[in-house]
Amino acid sequence: MSVKILSITLLLISMCVCCHSEDTHEHPGRIPPCCPAVTKGNMTADVVGQTYHKLAARYHCVKAIIFDTKDGQLCADPDAQWVKDLTAKMRKV
């Protein structure tokens, strides 16, 4: 019984190590951003700066566009028309 528990424990630890190393591959030493949900309304007026970041869906994070605001980061729905318009405008600059 003890060998069975040890085997399961080692399996779980190795799975955690593999998943963790996969997450930090793009940015070693940094925790990648995560959006558990996106804003529903048009937040164009709150966006500052001329940059944005695309975020792919993974684990509990949803697909999103991240904008900077004076209060921090904003997770927006990449399929929302206001987001498409704003990112197109930013690409032209």
pLDDT in tens, 51-83: 999 999 998 999 999 999 999 999 999 999 999
Residues in contact with 13: Cβ distance below 8 Å, sequence separation at least 6, in sequence order: none
Structure-token match 């792919």, residue found = 56
Residue 73 and residue 66 in contact, taking contact as beta carbons nearer than 8 Å: yes
| Reported pTM | 0.65
Phi, psi of 53 (to 5 degrees): -130, 135
Average pLDDT of span 11-20 = 49
